Amino acid sequence: MKGLYIVTPDWDDTDKLVHATAQALAGGAAIVQYRHKTASPELRREQAQALLALCRRHGRPFIVNDHLDLCLALDADGLHVGGTDAPVAQIREELGADKIVGASCYGDLELARRAQREGASYVAYGGFYPSRVKKYPVTTSPSIIAQSQKEISLPVCVIGGMTVENSAPLVAAGADMVAAISSVYFAASPDEAARQFADLWSQ
């Protein structure tokens, strides 16, 4: 797992969401996570189905944030869980060995160690910088990437206010994936924004 990992904003307009996601995928986004914290179950299913179909056409993984039932119902490629959500071990048992299970570990290596023991596919650290979308403490040190590489054999995703400029040193330090919301979805050209992020791994 490597590259730009786009996370959807809380947009109720499905056509707008799918269009921007299609642009980002055309620009080189490697993974899509569907996250909409305020959607109704009906809207969430409608949007997830549309995005899953889009990802299938592009051959990119589609991951659902938090909602195990939705992930199972759509046969999505995986689930991302936060530190206060269901344990990774439980999610892994529910989804089986072939699905992707991502785990938010914030700035805590112990959470990453536990996630690895319980069968996670990747670990996500952050926030590193202030985010326009997600509200959490900006307390994660870039040094956690090197520490993780010494102890954790899983791919590392970084999140939290990511721009092409401020994520470049994290990629140079060994981050496998950069998760971005506003820097792609709120960009004038999501395809060009995605392309600039994707280029970080070709330098």
Gap between the Cα atoms of 111 and 45, Å rounded: 30
Q: Which of 35, 44, 60, 114 is catalytic?
A: 35
Q: What does the block give as tokens for 71?
A: 């992930």
The residue annotated as part of the active site, out of 104, 121, 131, 167, is 104
Residue 105 has phi, psi (to 5 degrees) of -120, 0
| Inter-CA distances, 10 with 65, 80, 186, Å | 12, 16, 12
Q: How far is CA 144 from the centre of its chain?
A: 18
53 three-class SS: helix
Question: For 56, left (φ over 0), alpha (ψ -120 to 50), or beta?
Answer: alpha
Of 44, 134, 167, 183, the active-site residue reads 134
- Annotated active-site residue 134? The verdict is yes
Q: Tell me if 202 sits within 8 A of 12, measured CB to CB.
A: no
The question of whether 35 is a catalytic residue gets the answer yes
Residues belonging to the active site: 35, 104, 134
